[in-house]
Amino acid sequence: MRIGVPKEIKPQENRIGLTPASVKTLVSEGHEVLVEDNGGFEAGFENDQFIKAGAKIAKDAADIFNDSEIIVKVKEPQKVEVDMIRENQIIYTYLHLAAARGLTEGLVKSKSINIAYETITDDNGRLPLLAPMSAVAGRMSVQAGAHCLEKNQRGRGVLLGGAPGGEPANVLILGGGVVGENAAAIATGMQAKVHIVDKSESRLKQLVEIFGEKIIPEQSDKIDLKKLVAEADLIVGGVLVPGAEAPKLVTKNMLKLMKRGSVIVDVAIDQGGCVETSKPTTFNHPTFIVDNVVHYCVANMPGGVPRTSTIALNKATLPYLIKLANKGYQKALDEDKNFLAGLNVHKGHVTYKAVADVFGYEYVNPRDAIKN
């Protein structure tokens, strides 16, 4: 198959869909790979590295979309890219459709085949292609939050780990999944006081086994969330409902309880955010203030460390891409129910129920869809 890798064009998105090492593997399997000129430059991958791996360099995105059977990206297609997608073309990337009505409509209209990294599962119900970027975002969230707490960033002027004679900051992590665990790793390493809220008692026990007395586990149905929010210096929102819009756990009214200059880092912003007052921001303008609370809502946080993120992401995405290219999408998806869970939009039909429900589309079972 001919696989195309366009340069990412979302603001401050510097990752790329494939590394030179991944290209080499795909070429060795008999596939042709097209990479847009300087597509990997910001992630530290030069054109010469891709050429040496066996790729051909395309002058622009139009050539990539015109000449490729599979498009491999990192972030969801932007409007100009959606307009270039061809009927029956396979799009393999993060989509986050439940928070993107316009994109969903565009992909339905294109009659393309859209496989979302974030809804592919494994046998334990986990999300193996989302996990590496969730880990990066979780770690970055605390770094970003610590910076935003500085007075020159309009924060409270507190050091996350405190200092001799001073108390450490209170960190409240909403969600004990991959984001939450990795946020806790950094926050506890910085010696902050860390509360982790999750609905699963068994997951909280796992986190206690990992972090011991460095964290305070809080089961969501047994706590006063308003009290925890009021006491927090930094809140990290890491709640995920696979493929669906994130629940709004922190309401606008709760913000009035928070300390002046406290910080919210809403990692769930890709799925609409778990804080009512959140809205997507960029690395150029990462924060805004509501009710004296600093909000950091960068929608592509791992894009800030593009080399680390691209390498980590490729380790997860490449095995599925090889199946897709070697077998064709129908056989690859039909043989693997976990891979099939990644099919969100297929030839004009919505095949992921959470997306169909939120936007009022008729839901088509993905297994039925791929037979056509």
pLDDT along the chain (372 residues), means of 10: 97 95 98 98 98 98 98 97 98 94 98 97 94 96 98 97 94 97 98 97 97 97 96 96 88 97 96 95 96 96 96 98 98 98 98 96 97 86
Sequence ranges of the chain with CATH classification 3.40.50.720: 2-119+306-369, 131-299
List, in order, residues 6 or more apart from 209 with CB less than 8 Å away.
Answer: none
- Residue 143: both structure tokens together: 């770094």
Spot the catalytic one: 31, 96, 346, 349.
96
DSSP secondary structure letter of residue 269: G
- Residue 125: both structure tokens together: 């119900």
Among candidates 245, 230, 15, 24, which has minimal Cα distance to 137? 15
Q: Determine contact, residues 266/296, Cβ cutoff 8 Å.
A: yes
| CATH class of the domain defined by 2-119+306-369 | alpha beta
pTM of the model: 0.89
Whole-number pLDDT of residue 243: 77
Range list of H helices, the chain: 20-28, 47-53, 61-67, 79-82, 101-110, 131-148, 178-189, 201-211, 225-231, 252-255, 306-327, 329-335, 337-340, 353-359, 366-369
Spot the catalytic one: 31, 270, 295, 346.
270
Q: Determine contact, residues 135/267, Cβ cutoff 8 Å.
A: no
Whole-number pLDDT of residue 108: 98
Distance from C-alpha of 4 to C-alpha of 73, rounded to nearest angstrom? 9
- Other C-beta atoms within 10 Å of 209: how many? 8
List, in order, residues 6 or more apart from 134 with CB less than 8 Å away.
Answer: 127, 177, 178, 179, 182, 238, 240, 267
Angle at alpha carbon of residue 12, lines to 179 and 287, rounded to 5°: 65
Reply yes or no on whether 83 is catalytic.
Answer: no
Reply yes or no on whether 270 is catalytic.
Answer: yes
CATH of span 131-299: 3.40.50.720
Looking at the DSSP assignment, which residues form a beta bridge with residue 33? 3
Q: Determine contact, residues 252/277, Cβ cutoff 8 Å.
A: yes
Whole-number pLDDT of residue 263: 98
Burial of 291-324, coded b for 16+ CB within 10 Å and e otherwise, reads eebbbbbbbbbbbbbbbbbbbbbbebbbebbbbb
Amino acid identity at 13: E
